[in-house]
Amino acid sequence: MSKFRIDESREMPAVSTASLPDIVFMLLCFFMVTTTMREVTLMVKIKKPEATELTKLTKKTLVSYIYVGQPIPQYQKTFGTEPQIQLNDQFANASDLLSFITAERAARDESEIPMMITSIKADEFTKMKIIQEVKEELRKAQALHINYSAKKKVDLK
């Protein structure tokens, strides 16, 4: 059966790698489009509470974040273990919120200001005292549209 005889002299050709850069670039573009840059490094520990009635924050550029939680171990020496507020990349007091919101507003286009949302990302076990202070300050700053950040509750029914 000469038809099926394996030709010893011919070798299997190597897979061409010429298209590898294209493939990788394609992946790269995919990730660049679908992901967003990490805005801040978290200095507080946050375990989000669970909820069912969630709305998604779609317009990322219009959202300002307030983080509340216990400082992570490396900051506990200076800031203690009590929950702290983190704005941008530093710890802050509730009284700093007014200037924070003003700065956030100044960074946006004037027409976008009414659509701005403040997202409160707080740890599940934070006491309401500090959240209440944040809310009071937000009311004073007229940043009334807020979003309590939460995870989708997994229903085990």
Partner 1 sequence: MAKKVPEIPNASMADIAFMILIFFLITTTMDVDSGLERRLPPPADPNQVQTDIQINERNIFVVLVNAKDELLVENEWVAIKDLRAKAMEFLDNPKNLITLPEKEVKEVPFFGPTEIVKNGVISLRNDFGTTYGAYLAVQNELVAAVNELRDAKAMQKWSKKYVDLTEDQQDAVKMIYPQKISEAEPKKVGVKK
Binders of partner 1 in range 22-51 (CB under 8 A): 24-25, 27-28, 31-32, 34-38, 49-51
Kindly tell me which of 102 and 132 has the beta carbon lying closer to partner 1. Answer: 132
Find, among 91, 32, 33, 86, the residue nearest to 64 by Cα: 86
- Shortest distance, CB of residue 78 to partner 1, whole angstroms? 21
- ∠ Cα 124 128 129 (to 5°): 140
- Shortest distance, CB of residue 1 to partner 1, whole angstroms? 42
- Shortest distance, CB of residue 96 to partner 1, whole angstroms? 18
- Which range of residues in 1-9, 20-28, 90-98, 105-113 is near partner 1 by CB under 8 A? 20-28
Kindly tell me which of 6 and 18 has the beta carbon lying closer to partner 1. Answer: 18
Binders of partner 1 in range 106-135 (CB under 8 A): 117, 119-120, 122-129, 131-132, 135
Residue 138 token pair: 């937000």
Binders of partner 1 in range 55-114 (CB under 8 A): 55-58, 60, 63, 68
Q: Which residues contact 101 (CB under 8 A, 6 or more apart)?
A: 64, 118, 138, 141, 143
Are 123 and 83 contacting, i.e. CB atoms less than 8 angstroms apart? yes
**In Å, how far are 43, 82, 141 from 70, measured between CA atoms?**
9, 6, 25
Are 54 and 48 contacting, i.e. CB atoms less than 8 angstroms apart? no
Is 131 in a helix, a strand, or coil? helix
Chain positions contacting partner 1, by CB under 8 A: 17, 20-21, 24-25, 27-28, 31-32, 34-38, 49-58, 60, 63, 68, 117, 119-120, 122-129, 131-132, 135, 138-140, 142-152
